[in-house]
Structure 1
């Protein structure tokens, strides 16, 4: 079956990822014959729609989507539509009860070659959480593992950015089309994932806007692509815990970083550890539970960071830079918010939002008397 065939199949009425996977498992010998094998097993509405497409494609409501696929693939050599049978289709996805029928891809498909670990966590992490996410992203890259996440703010973005900084592979699974930047603050990371050994994936066609309902389903692909998932920081009720539950259901390893009992963002991780997740304090704790690499690392060993028993906190690059006007006004001496508002000419809300972004990126922090600039770029 071609990419076009799989796209048509995914769009048929009354079908979905779980129904398609059930059919594939029930009668694999029949489904090897396209389209006859599928026509014999599909429910009537889907079979009728497929027959219309086969006999009169110009009259089929599926025609615009197929035409859009042709345009997408022709637009760039970095565009692809992955599907079962594709040379780069991740075999781990076939272990899911509801793998996507197709995955739109933008970037370097070689990012799917190394074994992968998902790193997820809070969108509002602590500074320690951001440092830990970046450290694990770097260290895993040094050991030849790819980092998979959802390109969300906070932990996800920090881990993926650090993996790229270390010369490793990183895969972002999006809850929108791969050409849509969401969240908007990650425009630079989105761009890097297309051109620096990274890859953007989505089960939604290009142009699809982000919707809340898409993200929980996105998580099953994040964990499905991975040998395990590391939760760095998570509140008691968070999407990261959904990812951990999915990983358990998929028979993946679940790792959790412990934290203070007084930190609300650590309570989810502490709960996972109580439920049997592997407690992690360094990269060795993860490597001991994963299958042996079986070959050379994706990065030359002379460039790989040394393995340590504790999380390292070396500087990594940031999407923000010294050209940021608000960052330029900060120094090691605290600057009050009202002074920053006056100097920038921006309103209070704008300054507060930007300061929060700088804090998430590890470039600034709040201190007694105002905001200060951090001397080392943590993210």
Structure 2
């Protein structure tokens, strides 16, 4: 993209009161952003309101600075950074089927295998994995386990780089994708400009994704982490993926927004069940009641799309009656959170003895301690 063309795109999308809807109408009518700004008032009046025409008459505040910043950002790493528009070959075809596709998509990462994901609308091997920002330890393990299995089977894992399940999904995908494999390990769709990383705790993870995957954003450089941007970016996560897997989610969760958008776009929705007592599982249970497919293994997800898709066998989660029940305390700890008093009643052990054994099991990674002095059995990924 030439600098002048980029300038026209930034001006159009940065003009006050010109959102995606008005911008699409203008592009449909006149073809390109440059052509939009070549129109007289009479032609523009056929498409937008008087106030919108007034805003279009001059570049928005800060336009020149943003153009300089964006052009410099692109020139710093020309093989790793691009700005994609719907008319370009590298723009993801699947997003064109959305009701509200991003008109400008900033991308940074490994473009060697990007065309394979971008070009395929229906046969792409990409799975969104999303969930709570405050998951249980078991939820984090599930996210890593499912993402690792998907990546090992040659699928790209799409998520949002948020704390919790998103970050674990990216990590699992990077761990599962074979070195040198002809795939993007993972794609992170973020709600800020790509010149910053949010949350800061994921700076190293973002760099790892850029090396073996892709970071995407529809927001211009310099955009801070505004709350309204994150639910909106979820439509891109859903749109890039053949299906969406929700690992853990409360009833009021952004992950449920992603699942709803996936269903509206005709994508498959999957959910991992959890304890009926866990708030983080209630969103998944609601999705299952609404028709999402209950899954316990990554094979169940991948087989939904292609029965022949190879996936590494992974052990099913332990049940309370499975391995390890020779331990008199572990035998009574289930996957539902349980308090110390209840465990003491079940085991018949003195409190001091029980607390000591629980600490040993916690240090061994067999159980986890939850807020509220609760304990829960843990199955490592």
- TM-score, L = length of structure 2: 0.71
State which of 339, 344, 363 in structure 2 corresponds to 1:372: 363
Q: Is residue 264 of structure 1 aligned with residue 259 of structure 2?
A: no
State which of 131, 148, 154 in structure 2 corresponds to 1:121: 131
- The residue number in structure 1 matching 2:227 is 212
Kindly tell me: are residues 233 and 71 of structure 1, through their superposed partners in 2, closer, same or farther at Cα, counting changes over 3 Å?
A: same
Q: 1-side partners of 2:207 and 2:270: how far apart?
A: 29
Q: 2-side partners of 1:112 and 1:17: how far apart?
A: 25
Query: How many positions carry a matched residue from both structures?
Result: 308
| Structure 2 residue matching 1:35: 3-state secondary structure | helix
State which of 144, 148, 166 in structure 1 corresponds to 2:158: 148
- The residue number in structure 2 matching 1:201 is 216
Does the aligned pair in 2 maintain the 1:52–1:60 contact within 8 Å?
no
Q: Is residue 306 of structure 1 aligned with residue 306 of structure 2?
A: no
- The residue number in structure 1 matching 2:8 is 5
Shift in Å at residue 249 of structure 1? 1.9
Structural mapping, 1:184-333, within 5 Å: 184-195=200-211, 197-290=212-305, 306-308=312-314, 310=316
Q: Which has the higher contact order (CA 8 A, sep 6+)?
A: 1
| Structure 1 residue matching 2:304: 3-state secondary structure | coil
Shift in Å at residue 134 of structure 1? 0.8
Q: 1-side partners of 2:172 and 2:155: how far apart?
A: 13
Does the aligned pair in 2 maintain the 1:135–1:311 contact within 8 Å?
no
Kindly tell me: are residues 292 and 83 of structure 1, through their superposed partners in 2, closer, same or farther at Cα, counting changes over 3 Å?
A: farther
- The residue number in structure 2 matching 1:68 is 69
Shift in Å at residue 157 of structure 1? 0.6
1:177-219 CA distances to partner (integer Å, 9 max, x unpaired)? 2222211221211121122x11111112222221212111121
State which of 170, 180, 183 in structure 1 corresponds to 2:186: 170
Shift in Å at residue 223 of structure 1? 1.1
| Structure 1 residue matching 2:251: 3-state secondary structure | coil
Does the aligned pair in 2 maintain the 1:111–1:171 contact within 8 Å?
no
- Note the residue ranges of structure 1 that are not aligned, 5 or more in a row: 54-58, 298-303, 313-365
Shift in Å at residue 151 of structure 1? 0.7
| Structure 2 residue matching 1:88: 3-state secondary structure | coil
Shift in Å at residue 68 of structure 1? 2.0
- TM-score, L = length of structure 1: 0.71
Q: 2-side partners of 1:190 and 1:20: how far apart?
A: 31
Q: 2-side partners of 1:61 and 1:153: how far apart?
A: 32
Kindly tell me: are residues 111 and 130 of structure 1, through their superposed partners in 2, closer, same or farther at Cα, counting changes over 3 Å?
A: farther
Q: 2-side partners of 1:163 and 1:112: how far apart?
A: 19
State which of 188, 195, 199 in structure 2 corresponds to 1:179: 195
1:325-351 CA distances to partner (integer Å, 9 max, x unpaired)? xxxxxxxxxxxxxxxxxxxxxxxxxxx
Q: 1-side partners of 2:314 and 2:289: how far apart?
A: 25
Does the aligned pair in 2 maintain the 1:150–1:222 contact within 8 Å?
yes
- The residue number in structure 1 matching 2:338 is none
Worse-superposed segment, 113-122 or 281-290:
281-290
Structural mapping, 1:353-368, within 5 Å: 368=358
Q: 2-side partners of 1:23 and 1:229: how far apart?
A: 33
Kindly tell me: are residues 208 and 248 of structure 1, through their superposed partners in 2, closer, same or farther at Cα, counting changes over 3 Å?
A: same
Does the aligned pair in 2 maintain the 1:176–1:202 contact within 8 Å?
yes
Does the aligned pair in 2 maintain the 1:176–1:204 contact within 8 Å?
yes
Q: 2-side partners of 1:162 and 1:260: how far apart?
A: 23
| Structure 1 residue matching 2:132: 3-state secondary structure | coil
Q: 2-side partners of 1:311 and 1:105: how far apart?
A: 37
Larger Rg: 2
| Structure 2 residue matching 1:210: 3-state secondary structure | coil
Shift in Å at residue 305 of structure 1? 5.6
- Note the residue ranges of structure 2 that are not aligned, 5 or more in a row: 118-123, 178-183, 319-355, 367-377
Worse-superposed segment, 202-211 or 151-160:
202-211
